[in-house]
Amino acid sequence: MKKLFTLFTAVVLIGLSSCEGPQGPPGPPGLNGADGQDGEVGIIVSQAFEIVLDFNEQNNYEFIEPYGFEVFPTDVTLVFILWEDIAGTEVWRLLPQSVEFSDGNLVYNYDFTQEDVRFFLDGTTNFAALGNEWTQAQVFRVVVVPADNLGRQNLTDFDAIMALYGITEFEKRQGNR
């Protein structure tokens, strides 16, 4: 009798799990895109450039670079610094970046407006006493991204940002060199 009850229960459970109910309501329509493409392809565009800078007392350890392209009020500017080169592999870090010295710290930092981006040194160390490796020929990559996608990716991962926005090359600028 127990075996018959177990068999009956198993058949009922299989039968109930294979039933389908009525189809739910349709979801909202998606955005129209170009034929063969998803809705917002091509709308989310990112601009980028690379710039080489020298920081010194004459320029107050800062430099302002106009974008040279349209930046919308909701766009966000990300700046990466070429931190090191390991056997031909470039290592890029998102600013701000800090370095500790015996007399204080050095911070590579930036701020931005809709018209330009400002690169500057900050911190408590004596900038005039820094070696050229810290102040001369510093390479930065600037990426202006639409705020629509912020929070959907790791902003500190340079390669992920490049892939997400389809950036394959950077316009080269000399800055104040």
Tens of pLDDT along 138-172? 999 999 988 766 666 677 788 888 887 788 888 88
What residue spans define the domains of the chain?
47-173
Q: Work out the average pLDDT over 127-148.
A: 93
pLDDT of residue 43: 45
DSSP the chain: -HHHHHHHHHHHHHHHHT------PPPPP----STTS-TTTTTS--EEEEEEE---TTTTTEEEEE-SS---TT-EEEEEEEEEEETTEEEEEESPEEEEETTEEEEEEEEE-SSEEEEEEEESS-GGGS-HHHHSSEEEEEEEE-GGGTTSS-TT-HHHHHHHTT----EEE-TT-
Answer yes or no: is pLDDT of 13 > 70: no
pLDDT of residue 42: 44
As a CATH number, domain 47-173 is: 2.60.40
Q: Work out the average pLDDT over 84-104.
A: 95
First to last CA, the chain: 92
Reported as a pLDDT band with limits 50, 70 and 90, residue 31 is low
Tokens, residue 103: 């007399």
Answer yes or no: is pLDDT of 4 > 90: no
Residue of higher predicted confidence among 11 and 155: 155
Reported as a pLDDT band with limits 50, 70 and 90, residue 41 is very low
Q: Work out the average pLDDT over 102-116.
A: 97
pLDDT of residue 149: 60
What angle is formed at CA 112 by the lines to CA 108 and CA 113, rounded to 5 degrees? 165
pLDDT of residue 5: 56
